[in-house]
Amino acid sequence: MTAPSAPALSWFKSSYSGGSGTECVECVRSADGTFVRDSKCVRGPVVAVRRQAWRVFIGALNDLRFEE
């Protein structure tokens, strides 16, 4: 997957990011998957996650499999 051009896409902040305003991630969907970045460093690194891996990850979050 090729990292997206930041101005061309509609990034959105995760609703699960920390409430203090300091721990936010942003996501954007593409045809191949999802890209994730630090909202405080929008020109920094971008993590690319393939569509199926993202679905498994979100499914695990919805199932609360990451609960402590």
pLDDT in tens, 6-63: 556 788 887 666 666 666 888 898 888 999 998 888 888 999 999 999 999 888 888 8
Residue 3 CB partners (closer than 8 Å, separation 6+): 35, 46, 48
> Whole-model pTM above 0.95?
no
Asked whether the predicted pLDDT for residue 4 surpasses 80, the reply is no
Put residue 25 in one of left, alpha, beta given phi > 0 → left and psi -120 to 50 → alpha.
Answer: beta
